[in-house]
Amino acid sequence: MKRVAIPDIPRWFFKPLPNRPWVAYLGEGGNKLLHLDSGLVLPVPGPRDPVPTPDGRFISVPGISLFATADLMVDAHRATVPALEARLHGEYQSPGILSETPERVVYRFIADDSGPVVRDFALTLHDDAPARIEALGVKRRLCRGMHLQLPMIAPGGRELGAYDVDGGTTRILRINDDDTCEVLTDLGIATGKLSFSFDGRYVAFHLAHREKFSIKASQVPADRYAHNVFVVDRETARIARVTHNTASNAYYPAFRADGTLVYLFKPYDESGGRFNFVVADPAQISTWVPLAWVVGKCRSGDESCAETLALGSLRAHVCSRNGPKTSPATAALYTLSLRPESCRFLVRGHWRQHRESVSATLRFVPGSQGLASVDPEALARRCPVGLGLSTP
């Protein structure tokens, strides 16, 4: 895990270059590139939303204008003229690559223009240098019949993630050849914008939750708003926590080509801390639970689900002073934050005192009927075997 201070006040929107240690972001005065090793900052043309293509060849800005990344590195001040214009009106542009050969790359851009729109472009290469770009047809509307916001395309160009306004949840959709969309996965919760890993197996996003939090005995506990980063493994339908903030915030994780991701970290206000970009490796995470548990879908008779949620609820009872009000979903997220040794300490030291209240809190969860009679040692065996990545 690596933490890099941002030398100014960033806007929340940023994207890492897929295959180099740079992050494109909007800071004071315009778009910029920040080198994650040296801290060097280079200017990037455009007023907002600098988004690299999945091959790292270009940085796009809304419109869509494409600036050659190599030109920006050589002489950013001269690279004010776009290398290519892709022409797609809308906000929140995101690029994918449909096909790639040494001579030709077919990009697919989507944007939000009163709903998702799409346009494909073919880039011709001569000696690996961009020669010309041509539109493959006109702008088309995507996912007709659906009310989607914040569409973000996968690097492969054939899937997107978006918030479904009517359902109130974030969904992963396949883009069919006729531009209709098919829901592949309903995450069952509302999330921040999705980012797809380059192999398509994982999606990352941030979630919001609040805690009764007090660090002084004399202080009246106040609700703190925290945002944390999560990763879902689409193959196993499991979710893991990447950050463990209880007051600070981690936003907008975005994958790089090597499977690592970059998120924006802002320490809570009273700390006076600086904004940071953090590089994390989800492959290091050892604690995953079924996504269904987090969205409150334990199966009847599945005691392991109820007991896992009980661990998080117990943590809330002991630590946050908000235990009886903690939802099963939040309890599941808390469980993902427990260190193995702390979890066992928590169960052995506090389960007997709080088990009636925890059981009452989770009384509507299938499989929770016998929770209050579970022996501490039996419950301790449900503790995580490892922790997600710790907040720097």
Report the half-sphere exposure of 236 (CA within 13 A, side-chain side): 10
Q: From the CB of 171, what's the least distance to another protein, in Å?
A: 13
Is residue 216 a contact residue for another protein (CB under 8 A)? Answer: yes
| CB-based contact 64:48 (threshold 8 Å) | no
Is residue 390 a contact residue for another protein (CB under 8 A)? Answer: yes
Is residue 207 a contact residue for another protein (CB under 8 A)? Answer: yes
List the one residue from 68, 135, 318, 372 that touches another protein (CB under 8 A). 318
| CB-based contact 232:202 (threshold 8 Å) | yes
Is residue 129 a contact residue for another protein (CB under 8 A)? Answer: no
Is residue 315 a contact residue for another protein (CB under 8 A)? Answer: yes
Torsion of CA 46, 47, 49, 50, to 10 degrees: 30
List the one residue from 98, 122, 247, 295 that touches another protein (CB under 8 A). 247
Q: From the CB of 14, what's the least distance to another protein, in Å?
A: 10
Is residue 165 a contact residue for another protein (CB under 8 A)? Answer: yes
Is residue 337 a contact residue for another protein (CB under 8 A)? Answer: yes
How distant, in Å, are the alpha carbons of 11, 29, 84 from that of 77? 22, 14, 17
Spatial separation of the C-alpha atoms in residues 136 and 103, rounded to whole Å: 16
Site for another protein in 280-299 (CB under 8 A): none
How distant, in Å, are the alpha carbons of 210, 248, 328, 339, 342 from that of 225? 5, 8, 18, 22, 24
Beta-strand (E) ranges in 247-364?
Answer: 249-255, 261-266, 276-280, 289-290
Which residues make Cβ contacts (< 8 Å) with residue 17, sequence separation at least 6? Answer: 23, 24, 33, 52, 56, 69, 256
Say how many residues touch another protein, by CB under 8 A: 61
Question: Considering only 74-82, 95-103, 217-225, 373-381, which stretch makes contact with another protein by CB under 8 A?
Answer: 217-225
Specify the residue, 13 or 22, whose C-beta has the smaller distance to another protein: 13
Question: Considering only 99-107, 108-116, 133-141, 287-295, which stretch makes contact with another protein by CB under 8 A?
Answer: 108-116
What does DSSP assign to residue 63? E
Is residue 385 a contact residue for another protein (CB under 8 A)? Answer: no
Specify the residue, 87 or 345, whose C-beta has the smaller distance to another protein: 345
Q: List the beta bridge partners of residue 265.
A: 250, 276
Q: What are phi and psi of 3, to 5 degrees?
A: -125, 125
| CB-based contact 153:95 (threshold 8 Å) | yes
Is residue 206 a contact residue for another protein (CB under 8 A)? Answer: yes
Q: From the CB of 101, what's the least distance to another protein, in Å?
A: 35
List the one residue from 65, 94, 197, 391 that touches another protein (CB under 8 A). 391
List the one residue from 215, 220, 235, 364 that touches another protein (CB under 8 A). 215
Is residue 195 a contact residue for another protein (CB under 8 A)? Answer: no
Is residue 113 a contact residue for another protein (CB under 8 A)? Answer: yes
| CB-based contact 11:27 (threshold 8 Å) | yes
Give me the helices (H) in 58-180, please. Answer: 69-75
List the one residue from 29, 102, 137, 272 that touches another protein (CB under 8 A). 272
Task: For Cα atoms 370, 341, 333, give the angle at the middle one, nearest 5 degrees.
Answer: 60
Is residue 273 a contact residue for another protein (CB under 8 A)? Answer: yes
* Closest by Cα among 87, 15, 91, 25 to 54: 15
Is residue 263 a contact residue for another protein (CB under 8 A)? Answer: no
Site for another protein in 19-78 (CB under 8 A): 26, 47-48
Q: From the CB of 57, what's the least distance to another protein, in Å?
A: 26
Is residue 328 a contact residue for another protein (CB under 8 A)? Answer: no
Which residues make Cβ contacts (< 8 Å) with residue 70, sequence separation at least 6? Answer: 57
Is residue 270 a contact residue for another protein (CB under 8 A)? Answer: yes
- Per CB under 8 A, residues contacting another protein are 9-13, 26, 47-48, 91-92, 112-115, 149-150, 163, 165-166, 168, 190-193, 206-208, 210, 213, 215-217, 223, 225, 227, 244, 246-247, 249, 266-274, 315, 318-319, 321, 337-339, 342, 345-346, 387, 390-391
